[in-house]
């Protein structure tokens, strides 16, 4: 069986080369990684130079340093890269990285993953339908969350009940609904009624599955049925909603803005046009005047919305063509930023100047909102709940790799890849399972030592208003919030937490926080026994329950032994084992922590191995 590195343009036979292949078990690392070889010398020949590149030449520029391809090793084909690190006249040093444990999209942010973005007829009705479901019936949900972010005494939030995804009973009916935001006219103008914030929360497992799909893998394994994670949604503290307040628009038109000149008798006529984007709902007064003296009544003006004429003016024989109209922009229209166009067709006039000598052009236009202001004169913003589900805007600012490593450490998962399948299984110490027999590779006197890890400290974010216990392990067991932490402690940071429960106005549900780059999980498995969309927070990811869930693993790491030895082996025999094999040697069960396979001939390896007993 031969080893190769193969690309679309060339292949290199690695079989006779004295390559050493290094591999470490990801179970013993806090991050995922790649297998690799140390640099090795290869010889050029004419065929190599013609297919790969003129690496032997002093003059050739722009030679690629890295080639993507496939590493065929011990009968297994793995994606890999071949890197040219040094060039000489007849030889080059190459290094091969393969069997990637780290996916090409690990550096993508969660918002860059292929998460759902689509429009719905009505977001309030849509949310009311989805809350009756749970994962995997739906990939996202709308759990009710308490927030203290907004001042309920302010004009903009006086109608808000402090709940995101608020769902209430409809009068004396048993039916429940999501209250709508709206604009209402009152004696002083128009009022912004901000009752609700509608924010979808994607299920964690859906985001994980989409991330692996984006990299070309289907997620399988224990994680898909992990009851601790299965109904956990992701909440992001970044504002999902959009606000807009009515703005004043004021513009002048100047002589140089005329276009399309033409003559009518001995008079010069032309056009001008002004466009205004309206970003908030409500009533607006469009008012202005166009200088047209001497046009003999032949000037005209049209006011349009999104290209559809609303009002037109013309005729008369006055020096100014005046206009004054009120329009209404509803909530649905405002979501699309409608365009108001004022177009003039009339006599060409010179710019005018006011009494202070300021150029005021040939026309003046104002669009004034008719709105409700605060006592200080500030506009009250309107909260848009768009008729759209956008899960890309519902996730925290972190990379997919950070999310994978976090779940791996939080729930003690292993991750392997086999032929387009990503497998995430929990690492469980099964003392009843028969290990693979490794005794033929024993030597007389291996190096033994106590494990190099003395302490582990698992930390959670420090968030005001949330009690999150750090978990410290030593060989006697675990403690919470150890102070001080010994210097030689291995620290594992978990940048996530579960939203705690709180009670506000007799409603018990999870409390939202404004963290934007931390994983916040909220448990929602459909309507509760009262038919409410209140969130829960079952035990499992914090405190004693969490510590107990990972105790066996960390106690084994702290109380067992490390073995190191070197042996010769036929390549055909060592291929039966892999880095995750559980082996039996020296009358003990071992995990392989790392090994280096040094190719000493076509048939034999010299293997340097390090194991940890369990």
* DSSP character string of 378-422: PBPPEEE--SEEEGGGSS-S-BHHHHHHHHHHHHTEEEEEETTEE
What is the average per-residue pLDDT within 210-226?
A: 96
- Domain contains 307: yes
Among 31-45, 211-225, 484-498, which stretch is predicted with the lowest mean pLDDT?
A: 31-45
What's the whole-number average pLDDT of the chain? 89
What is the average per-residue pLDDT within 365-374?
A: 79
Whole-angstrom distance, CA of residue 190 vs CA of residue 196: 18
Whole-angstrom distance, CA of residue 344 vs CA of residue 367: 16
Whole-angstrom distance, CA of residue 216 vs CA of residue 401: 15
461 and 579 fall within a common domain: yes
Whole-angstrom distance, CA of residue 194 vs CA of residue 181: 5
364 and 440 fall within a common domain: no
Q: Domain limits at 602? A: 436-496+541-613
Write out pLDDT tens, residues 145-171. 999 999 999 988 999 999 999 999 988
Write out pLDDT tens, residues 283-339. 889 999 999 998 888 899 999 999 999 999 998 889 999 999 989 888 888 888 999
> Cβ(561)–Cβ(448) under 8 Å?
yes
DSSP state of 429: -
Per-residue model confidence (pLDDT) at position 608 = 95
Per-residue model confidence (pLDDT) at position 171 = 81
Assess whether pLDDT exceeds 70 at residue 377.
no
Assess whether pLDDT exceeds 90 at residue 28.
no
366 and 441 fall within a common domain: no
> Number of folded domains in the chain?
3
Between 20 and 169, the higher pLDDT residue: 169
Strands, DSSP E only, in 460-578?
A: 471-474, 477-480, 489-493, 496-498, 501-504, 507-511, 519-523, 561-570
Whole-angstrom distance, CA of residue 273 vs CA of residue 257: 8
333 and 454 fall within a common domain: no
Whole-angstrom distance, CA of residue 363 vs CA of residue 348: 11
- Domain contains 166: no
What is the average per-residue pLDDT within 549-557?
A: 93
Write out pLDDT tens, residues 489-530. 999 999 999 999 999 999 999 999 999 999 999 999 999 999
Nearest to 590 by CA among 464, 436, 445: 436
Share of the chain above pLDDT 70, in %: 92
Q: Which two tokens stand for residue 412?
A: 């003690």
Per-residue model confidence (pLDDT) at position 31 = 57
Whole-angstrom distance, CA of residue 152 vs CA of residue 154: 5
557 and 477 fall within a common domain: yes
490 and 609 fall within a common domain: yes
447 and 321 fall within a common domain: no
Whole-angstrom distance, CA of residue 201 vs CA of residue 203: 7
Per-residue model confidence (pLDDT) at position 372 = 61
Confidence of residue 189 (pLDDT cuts 50, 70, 90): low
Whole-angstrom distance, CA of residue 449 vs CA of residue 452: 8
- Domain contains 14: yes
- Domain contains 394: no
Whole-angstrom distance, CA of residue 391 vs CA of residue 115: 6
Whole-angstrom distance, CA of residue 337 vs CA of residue 304: 14
| Strand, helix or coil for residue 528 | coil
> Cβ(25)–Cβ(579) under 8 Å?
yes
Per-residue model confidence (pLDDT) at position 574 = 92
Whole-angstrom distance, CA of residue 140 vs CA of residue 498: 17
Whose tokens are 């107990």? That residue is 548
Between 42 and 276, the higher pLDDT residue: 276
555: left (phi over 0), alpha (psi -120 to 50) or beta: alpha
Determine the Cα angle at 53 with ends 52 and 56, to 5°.
Answer: 125
Report the 10 Å Cβ neighbour count for 377: 6
Tell me which of 98, 127, 142 is where a domain ends.
98
Per-residue model confidence (pLDDT) at position 81 = 84
What is the average per-residue pLDDT within 426-447?
A: 92
Among 82-96, 223-237, 350-364, which stretch is predicted with the lowest mean pLDDT?
A: 82-96
Whose tokens are 């907004």? That residue is 150
Per-residue model confidence (pLDDT) at position 54 = 63
Tell me which of 344, 370, 396 is where a domain ends.
370
364 and 442 fall within a common domain: no
- Residue 261, φ and ψ in degrees, nearest 5: -60, 145
- Domain contains 389: no
Per-residue model confidence (pLDDT) at position 124 = 97
| Helices 204-214 & 400-411 angle (0-180, nearest 10) | 130
Whole-angstrom distance, CA of residue 55 vs CA of residue 58: 8
Whole-angstrom distance, CA of residue 334 vs CA of residue 305: 12
Write out pLDDT tens, residues 119-129. 999 999 999 99
Nearest to 39 by CA among 78, 90, 97: 97
476 and 604 fall within a common domain: yes
586 and 492 fall within a common domain: yes
Q: Which two tokens stand for residue 603?
A: 């048939």
Burial 593-606 (b: 16+ CB within 10 A, else e): bbbbbbbeeeebbe
- Domain contains 524: no
Q: Residue 310 to residues 148, 286, 557: CA-CA distances in angstroms? A: 44, 12, 76
Which residues, other chains included, contact 529 with Cβ-Cβ below 8 Å and sequence gap of 6+?
A: none
CATH, residue 325: 2.60.120.40
> Cβ(416)–Cβ(100) under 8 Å?
no
Per-residue model confidence (pLDDT) at position 308 = 95
- Domain contains 304: yes
CA 110 to chain centre: 2
Per-residue model confidence (pLDDT) at position 98 = 74
What is the average per-residue pLDDT within 426-446?
A: 92
461 and 569 fall within a common domain: yes
Per-residue model confidence (pLDDT) at position 375 = 63
Share of the chain above pLDDT 90, in %: 65
- Domain contains 427: no
Per-residue model confidence (pLDDT) at position 435 = 94
pTM for the complete prediction?
0.78
444 and 576 fall within a common domain: yes
Between 172 and 287, the higher pLDDT residue: 287
Tell me which of 352, 370, 388 is where a domain ends.
370
């Amino acid at each position: 069986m031969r080893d190769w590195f193969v690309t679309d343009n060339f292949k290199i036979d690695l079989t006779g080369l004295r390559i050493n292949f290094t591999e470490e078990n990801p179970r013993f690392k806090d991050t995922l990684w790649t297998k690799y070889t140390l640099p090795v010398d290869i010889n050029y020949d004419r065929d190599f130079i013609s297919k790969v590149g003129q690496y032997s030449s002093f003059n050739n520029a722009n030679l690629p340093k890295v080639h993507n391809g496939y590493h065929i090793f011990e009968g297994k084909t793995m994606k890999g890269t071949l890197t040219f690190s040094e060039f000489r006249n007849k030889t080059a040093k190459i290094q091969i990285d393969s069997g990637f444990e780290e996916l090409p999209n690990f550096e993508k942010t969660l918002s860059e993953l292929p998460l759902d973005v689509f429009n719905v007829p009505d977001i309030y009705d849509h949310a009311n339908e989805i809350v009756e479901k749970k994962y995997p019936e739906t990939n996202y949900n709308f759990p009710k969350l308490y927030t203290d972010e907004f001042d309920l005494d302010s004009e903009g939030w006086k109608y808000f009940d402090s709940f995101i995804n608020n769902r209430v009973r409809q009068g004396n009916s048993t039916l429940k609904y999501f209250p709508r935001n709206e604009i209402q006219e009152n004696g002083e103008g128009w009022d912004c009624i901000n009752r609700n914030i509608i924010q979808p929360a994607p299920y964690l497992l859906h985001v994980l599955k989409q991330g692996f799909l984006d990299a070309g893998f289907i997620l399988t394994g224990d994680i898909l049925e992990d009851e601790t994670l299965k109904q956990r949604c992701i909440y992001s503290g970044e504002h999902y909603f959009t606000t807009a307040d009515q703005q004043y628009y004021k513009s002048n038109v100047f002589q140089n803005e005329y276009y399309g000149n033409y003559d009518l008798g001995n008079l010069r006529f032309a056009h001008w046009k002004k466009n205004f984007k309206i970003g908030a709902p409500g009533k607006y007064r469009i008012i202005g005047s166009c200088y047209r003296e001497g046009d003999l009544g032949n000037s005209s003006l049209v006011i349009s919305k999104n290209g559809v004429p609303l009002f037109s003016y013309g005729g008369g024989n006055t020096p100014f063509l005046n206009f004054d109209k009120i329009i209404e922009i509803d909530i649905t229209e405002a979501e699309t930023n409608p365009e108001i166009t004022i177009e003039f067709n009339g006599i060409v006039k010179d710019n005018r100047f006011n009494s202070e000598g300021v150029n005021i052009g040939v026309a003046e236009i104002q669009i004034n909102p008719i709105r409700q202001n605060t006592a200080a004169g500030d506009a009250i913003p309107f909260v848009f709940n768009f008729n759209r589900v956008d899960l890309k805007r519902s996730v925290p600012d972190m990379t997919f790799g950070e999310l994978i490593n976090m779940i791996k450490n939080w729930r003690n998962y292993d991750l392997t890849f086999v032929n387009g399948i990503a497998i995430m299984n929990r690492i469980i110490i099964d003392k009843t399972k028969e290990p693979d027999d490794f005794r033929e590779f024993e030597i007389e006197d291996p190096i033994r030592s106590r494990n190099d890890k003395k302490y582990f400290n698992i930390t959670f974010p420090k968030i005001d208003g949330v009690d999150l216990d750090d978990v410290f392990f030593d060989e006697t067991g675990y403690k919470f919030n150890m102070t001080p932490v010994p210097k030689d402690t291995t620290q594992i940071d978990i940048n996530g937490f579960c939203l705690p429960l709180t009670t506000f106005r007799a409603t018990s549900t999870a409390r939202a926080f404004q963290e934007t780059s931390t994983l916040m999980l909220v448990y929602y498995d459909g309507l509760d026994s009262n038919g409410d969309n209140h969130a829960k927070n079952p035990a499992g990811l914090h405190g004693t329950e969490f510590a107990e869930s990972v105790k066996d693993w960390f106690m084994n790491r702290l109380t067992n032994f490390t073995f190191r030895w070197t042996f010769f082996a036929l390549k055909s025999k060592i291929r039966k084992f892999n880095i995750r094999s559980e082996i039996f040697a020296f009358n003990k069960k071992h995990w392989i922590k790392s090994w280096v396979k040094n190719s000493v001939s076509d048939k034999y390896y010299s293997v340097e191995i390090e194991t940890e007993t369990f």
